[in-house]
Structure 1
Amino acid sequence: MGQPYDPGSSGANPYQPGAYQPGPNQPGPYGYGGYPPPPPPKDRKGMRLWGKILTVVGIVILVASVAIGVVLAVSGIGQVVDQAEQAFVVDPRAEHRYDAGDTFALFRPDNTAATPSCEITGPAALERGSDVTAEFPYDGTQVQSFESFEVVEAGTYSFVCSDRVVVASIDIGGIFSGVGGVLLAVFGGGFGGVLMLIGIVLWVIAGRKPRTASPPAP
């Protein structure tokens, strides 16, 4: 009479968890080789879309900032130069007629250490102008403003200065336009360039094929 089957008497039970070890030519729980399938590739459509958007927006901001900034800078500097062509020298005396509402500034050479002192007399006291620095080349020398005034009453004004001074009518709007144009071209263009570079990086990363992990060596 045969003996009842005892699974423990013949070694490991093949039905116990972890007991079955597939060979190289035997299918395991994940097919031949016994390795799980690679994870599905990540969806990078969103990254690619944002890369395109940032690239286009960056290019638009860069081009617009540089173009508008150059136009404003050239226009503002042109207005300042036009006013500078009507400049005159006080050394040590001079006279000039102004209309009410005119603005002018006193300029000294850049290579002068001391700031000249000037006495200006006329039909009415002058009002102090905006504290704006302007400079331009005059008679082969670069001069820089150190004081500005606004004329309240029209008439002829007399200038007496302790040293050579160049007097030129100034356009505050032109100065701000020139400075603003330069700042817009530099900072606006730089911001647009950064956005463009970020967009290109995202676009390139999204376009790369995902790496597939190679199974470990048996």
Structure 2
Amino acid sequence: MSRTDEPQDQGTSSGNDEKSVLYGGTSDELMQGHSYDGIQEYDNPMPGWWVWLLWASVAFAIFYFVGITYFDWINTYEDDLAESLEELEMMRQAHAEAEGESFEVTEVNIEENYVGFEEHIAAGRETYQRFCASCHGDQGEGLIGPNLTDQHFMHGGSNVDIFQVLTDGVAGQGMPGWENSTTPEERAQLVAFIRSIEGTDPPDAKDPEGEFVERS
């Protein structure tokens, strides 16, 4: 007596082609040759390019880890940052030197091309607020540093004298030099601004210091 509920062979079917891909009868089988509770399993391997890409990524990860941890094959973030900062500093110095070579630090140049020119005074005011106001006051009235609105000077009162003080600073009195922070033109603009506030007599101005230098 035969059992009518016995499952049919997956390789044959009364209503299906025996060579159908659904039953694994072709050369490029899509189905595995077994089933689980009637559920058949696809044979769907990963594409070759994806597998090669995976292994290449694994190999690169190993190379990168060894190279950055134990050898000097690969720069660390700190190394790259240090090199970038060094390159930036070299570019800044080269620019400053090139501009400094073309700038003529003479009394005539500063007087005739900067002092009294509104655009240079305005630019000098901005530079003054960044570097000088904390010691000399917002209006040049003097705080830690001397009053800049009178005509008394401690280190010479000519345009070149003021320019050189801005460039080199006064180490014994706590004033830094701004040569590495400003361009020669910015320091000439500072001279123009300082000249523009002479005689303004702002409130709470410090008493004069140094020698009186009369301006012609």
TM over 0.5: no
Q: TM-score, normalised by structure 2?
A: 0.26
Which has the larger helix fraction? 2
TM-score by length of 1: 0.26
Structure holding more strand per residue:
1
